[in-house]
Amino acid sequence: MAATQTDAVHYYQRPDAGLAYDTTRTSLSGDAEALQIGKVGGTHLMWQTSYQRRSAGFEINDLGYLQRADQQAWSTWAGYFDRHQRKLYQRFQWNFNWWQYWTTAGLPEERAFNTNVHVTFRNTWSFHTGGTVGNLGGTYCYDCARGGPAVRQDPYLAPWAGLNGDDRKAIVPYFWVNYLRGDGGRSQSISLMPEEARTKCSRAIPSRTGRT
């Protein structure tokens, strides 16, 4: 039970966790809650918001798989949909997302905002773009020190975009680009992904992908 308390699911030994690590303990007790409400019908506007909480002592790995205890999470999504064919497009969707994570003691782990747009044009080509800004307002990585004190995190920016060809054709081109900037500008990455998918008799066969 001492090993369970100090594993990556619980990290009772973290000096700033405020948890009682007890090597003589023979069991753990905890609880988990979840609440979700939303609107999934209607013509254009849909949304959903949810809250989840797992106490530090919550442990179900004897029955299944638990990646993380001692966490609260709140996430909200709203989307605008237009499924009517217009002059320039067949379908349009614009999503907005907000999520936050804390430990059960209130240590902020993540605050992030994301928006993304998806358009299917009249010729069935589609364009997708979006981006995320995260670690807003001062957040901490609870597990970066592997059981040590929480580590302060810098904000990050992660935009992306992609273009998909007409999937009714025998050869369908794709091109996607992803960018990430974090650690106060000290870390940056870009990923370019051209791809070609081929279909035969309405069945997909292996595609070719290039990545830089």
Task: Find where tokens 């992609």 sit.
Answer: 162
The pLDDT tens digits along the chain (212 residues) read: 888 888 888 989 999 888 888 888 888 889 999 999 999 888 899 999 999 999 999 988 777 788 899 999 999 999 999 999 999 999 999 999 999 999 999 999 999 999 999 999 999 999 999 999 999 999 999 999 999 999 999 999 999 999 999 999 999 999 999 999 999 999 999 999 999 988 765 555 455 555 54
The answer as to whether 194 is a domain residue is no
Q: Hey, is 50 helix, strand or coil? A: strand
98 lies in some domain: yes
How high is the pLDDT of residue 42? 87
In a domain, 22, yes or no: no
Contacts of 183 by beta carbon, 8 Å cutoff, 6+ apart: 154, 156
**Is 41 inside a domain boundary?**
yes
Domain assignment present for residue 97? The answer is yes
Q: What mean pLDDT is reported for the chain? A: 91
Q: Pairing relation of β-strands 126-134 and 139-141?
A: unpaired
H helix intervals, the chain: 2-6
With 0-12 CB in 10 A as exposed, 13-18 as middle and 19+ as buried, what is 66? middle
Number of independent structural domains in the chain: 1
| pLDDT tens-digit map of 126-162 | 999 999 999 999 999 999 999 999 999 999 999 999 9
Please give the pLDDT value at position 72: 97
Residue 68 belongs to a domain: yes
Residue 158 lies in a domain: no
HSE, side-chain direction, 13 A CA sphere, residue 192: 1
Q: Is residue 64 part of a domain?
A: yes
Q: Which domain holds residue 61?
A: 31-153
